[in-house]
Chains A and B, each alone.
Chain A
Amino acid sequence: MTRKLRCSAAALGVAVALALTGCSGSDGSTEAPANSSGLEKTTIKVGALPIPDPVSLYIAKAKGYFEAEGLTVEPVQITGGAAALPQIESGALDISMTNYVSTFAAVEQGKKIKLVADMYQAGPNMFNIMVPKDSPIKTVADLKGKTIFVNNLHNVATLAVETQLKVAGLTADDVKFAEKPFPEMGNAVNSGQADACWITEPFITANQSAFGFRTLADTMTGQTEELPIAGWMATEEWTKKYPKTLAAFNRAISKAQQAASSDRKEIEKMLPTYTKIDAKTASVITLGTYPSELNANRLQKVADLMLEYGYLKNSIDVKSVIATPLSG
Chain B
Amino acid sequence: MIGARLLRGAAGAAGLLVIGELVLRFGVGDDVVFPAPSTILYEAALLLVDADFLEGLGTTLANWALGMLIAIGIAVPLGVLLGALPPVERAIRPVLEFMRPIPSVAIIPLAILLIPVDELMKVSVIVYASLWPILLNTLYGMHDVDPVAKESLRSFGFGPLAVLVRVSLPSAAPFVATGVRIAAGIGLILAVSAELLAGGTAGIGVYVIQAGSGNRMDLMMAATFWAGMLGVIANLVLLAGERRMFHWHRMRTGAQES
Contacts and interface: CB of A to CB of B under 8 A. Distances in A.
Interface of A: 1-3, 5-6, 9, 16, 20-21, 23-24, 27, 47, 49-51, 74-79, 83, 86-87, 89-92, 181-183, 186-187, 190-191, 202-203, 206, 210-211, 274-278, 281
Nearest to A91: B116
Interface of B: 30-34, 70, 74, 81-82, 85, 87-88, 90-92, 109, 112-118, 120-121, 124, 127, 196-201, 206, 209-217, 219-220
A24 B197 CA distance: 20
Contacts of A210: 33
A288 to B, nearest CB: 16
A27 to B, nearest CB: 5
Nearest to B33: A210
29 contacts: A2-B87, A2-B91, A3-B91, A5-B87, A5-B91, A9-B91, A21-B124, A24-B116, A27-B117, A47-B199, A49-B213, A77-B201, A79-B197, A83-B112, A83-B198, A83-B199, A91-B116, A182-B215, A186-B33, A187-B31, A187-B34, A203-B215, A206-B215, A211-B31, A275-B210, A276-B210, A276-B213, A281-B214, A281-B215
Contacts of B87: 1-2, 5
Contact of A2 (B88, B109, B206): B88
B214 A191 contact: no
B200 A76 contact: yes
A191 B31 CA distance: 7
Given A47-B199, A77-B201, A87-B112, A24 B213 contact: no
A2 B90 contact: yes
A78 B199 contact: yes
Contacts of A1: 87
A79 B112 CA distance: 12
Given A191-B31, A277-B214, A89 B114 contact: no
Residue of B120, B210, B214 with highest tally of chain A CB at under 10 A = B214
B147 to A, nearest CB: 22
B120 A23 contact: yes
A183 B217 contact: yes
A78 B112 CA distance: 12
Contacts of B82: 9
A305 B196 CA distance: 32
Nearest to B73: A16
A274 B210 CA distance: 8
Nearest to B74: A16
Nearest to B203: A77
Given A2-B88, A5-B87, A87-B112, A76 B118 contact: yes
Given A49-B213, A191-B32, 17 more contacts: A9-B81, A9-B92, A20-B120, A24-B120, A27-B116, A51-B213, A78-B198, A83-B199, A90-B116, A92-B115, A183-B213, A183-B215, A187-B31, A187-B33, A276-B210, A276-B213, A278-B214
Contacts of B127: 20
